[in-house]
Structure 1
Amino acid sequence: MQTPGDFDLSRRGVLVGGAASVAAATIVPAGGADAAPAATPASPPTAKVRFDVNGTARELELDTRTSLLDALREHLQLTGTKKGCDHGQCGACTVIVDGRRINSCLTLAVMHEGDRITTIEGLGLPDKLHPMQAAFIEHDGYQCGYCTPGQICSAVAVLDEIRAGVPSHVTADLGAAPQISAPELRERMSGNICRCGAYSNIIDAITDVAGAKA
């Protein structure tokens, strides 16, 4: 009959022997006719894209999977446009393309050949702010400021939409011509989320600019 000590020793031997067998079976030979060549990773496809960004012609060669947001931030260093959700749900990445606001995280850069793109950097300068930027400051239309570039770009485009008579759900339901009112602005700005909750001040800022330009 085995003593406890003998049993432990033989059990340890079984485990060690089994591990050695597995290791030997999985060793890949370093050379020889049967050795598989190492796979070389394929380079991602790239393409050149030319567009106008804030009044300047730019040309980039990009991985075709690069979003417009990443092209602006990582390749052109225009970091005013923010990456929030990266799923088109928060509006922090809003830019204006050929007069229309879009979520730059949801579109590929190569899809915008020849387009005219305006980011927050192209709206105004520190010593000459765009009226919407000045209004956001005056009305405290921000707190942490992370969503503010997207909010401002969207707000600028919203006023252009209203003046052009582009309907929203509110005006479609009312069956009336677009009006620059708080409900109308809230509806049109609903794609831009402010996690700090500065919504009422944002509406005040937009209303101020709309009144000045009326």
Structure 2
Amino acid sequence: MQTQMTAKRALDLALGSILLVLAAPLLAAGAVALAARRPPDGVLTRSVRIGLAGRPFVLRTLRTRRLRLDLLSRLPHVVRGELSLVGPEPLPPDDERTGNDSGTAGGDGDGDGAQHWRQELRPGLTGLAQIRSRSGMPWDEPALLDQHYAEHHWLGLDLAIMAAAVHIPLRAAVRGLTHRSKAHLSDTDHRLRGYSAAE
């Protein structure tokens, strides 16, 4: 288990650093664009989340979902070791799923078990629950998916989740462009020359 966690951290550090360098120009442009609007609370949201071993940290996120800059802006947390690239959702301290309230059953329905596995894993930038959230399957509840990941995670699963996290929004974007281009075609575009509706 320790070797697996060390390999996971090495992947987080290496890939997270590369992604941060590649995303830096986009993040800088996004921050400048947001600053130009002068948002009253600044360009970043700040919220306390529970991390590895139950330690709290302040999660900073860019205030935009455009190009998924909100997620990319969390990459510094991955490099620092507060987040992993893949893991359970980062929860606020008052969320019952953290298991911080002893003797209280968590949202997972497993009581103290929720505290045990959540504290052994870093929360993730993305995760099994996030990529399955729109599947509509009755068993795809985030808490159950997070627990399943905690019990079965390994580097191969992490790589598959990261691939899906990239593929799903790209597929949605392509589908949106395709539907938009089809919407520009009217029925008259397909009629033969000389065709009349009166016929």
What is the TM-score when the length of structure 2 is the normalising length? 0.23
**Structure with more of its chain in helix, by fraction:** 2
Which structure's CA Rg is the greater one?
1
